[in-house]
Amino acid sequence: MKVRITVGMSGGVDSSVTALLLKRAGHEVSGFFMLNWEDDGPEPGCHADADRRDALAVCAKLGIPFRSANFAAEYRERVFAHFLDEYRAGRTPNPDVLCNREIKFGTFLAAARADGAEKIATGHYARNESVDGHWRLLRARDHSKDQTYFLHMLDQDQLGAALFPLGGLHKTDVRRMADDTGLPVAAKKDSTGICFIGERDFRAFLSTYLPAQRGELRRPDGRALGEHQGAMFYTPGQRSGLRIGGRTGGSGEPWYVVGKDVAANVVYVDQGHESPWLQSRELSAAGTHWIAGDPPAASFDCAAMTRYRQPPQACHVEVEGARCIVRFDVTQRAVAPGQSVVFYAGEECLGGAVIERTDAPQIGGAT
């Protein structure tokens, strides 16, 4: 059946092949480019103008209509403001999760529907299906590219409106299709990181919005080791950017961030990838969202990811309203408050929540 579909075009190869596949399937396809960020400073991080031109060139190649819209105000209000609030609180947020819920499957979906679209499509590596009138979110066939971690906050309406044509493909297949068709973005490098930061130094960018003060780097026992650039910039398990190198009397192993006290502006570090200060078996999380609308049960076993591209880890979940307690079968390393814990039953993504704290050993007032 021919369906009117609007494809969210990023100017990259994934969304371009998404449009190609839907056009080949005989649907009425149009392309839509979202401008989600406008820079205030003289050194822009996003390549929005170039990406828009690439998206337009792909639509011209495919012979489909193209339009664009500026969602920068909505992005700043619904995503970026939360991003800054989380860093102020000493947590490590993941803006892609909110961007998907609020912008790509929120503002964009509304705009596409207003223009007469029956469905929207994106280049995400994920799958969805309807079973007995309920929509399920499933992992991509290519687990190395699976993006359900970032889509776990979608609801039934959003998931039912979405198409994910790349869910059954591998990235090598997508590149080959783009090249065989002569798409102008066939060899374009995949974007990485957060769009609004782009190629810029993360700390330099964040400090323009959240002025930071230098403070002490300390061992867990309180001994000072050096100076940090601002406690909000560091996250558990971080190795780079510490600038402390070897120390007399140390083990010779690399140093890692193992905690921080934002109020006191102190960052704690320890040596060794398996530092005991980074190990936890339990976490508490808030803002729990279930794709089906309700949890499978008040208490259940499943698997969970606490960061993107981590293999799902066996765990037990206790649901307490909008909060939950997660106990893992094996010790987890460097679980970071502010990140998402996302739940899976086999291939199905059940939903997730935002990590508040773990049972890792506490250092003074560190979190």
Indicate which residues carry an active-site annotation: 99, 195
Residue with tokens 């050096």: 226
Element (H, E) at 24: helix 13-24
Boundaries of every domain in the chain: 4-181, 212-273, 278-358
Does domain 212-273 correspond to CATH entry 3.40.50.12780? no
Annotate 298-359 with DSSP letters as a single string.
Answer: SEEEEEEESSTTPPPEEEEEEEETTEEEEEEEEEEE---BTBEEEEEETTEEEEEEEEEEE-
How many Å apart are CA 148 and CA 351, to the nearest integer? 9
Determine the CATH number of domain 4-181. 3.40.50.620
Q: How far is CA 201 from CA 51, 193, 228, in A?
A: 21, 12, 16
One of 1.10.10.10, 2.60.40.3080, 2.60.40.1110, 2.40.30.10 is the CATH number of 278-358, namely 2.40.30.10
Mean pLDDT by 10 residues, the chain (367 residues): 96 97 98 87 65 97 98 95 93 94 98 98 98 96 96 98 98 97 94 69 84 91 92 91 68 90 93 96 98 97 96 97 97 97 98 97 74
Q: Do residues 217 and 227 make contact, with C-beta atoms less than 8 angstroms apart? A: yes
0.95 exceeded by the pTM? no
Which one-letter DSSP state was computed for residue 233? G
Encode pLDDT of 281-336 as tens digits. 999 999 999 999 999 999 999 999 999 989 999 999 999 999 999 999 999 999 99
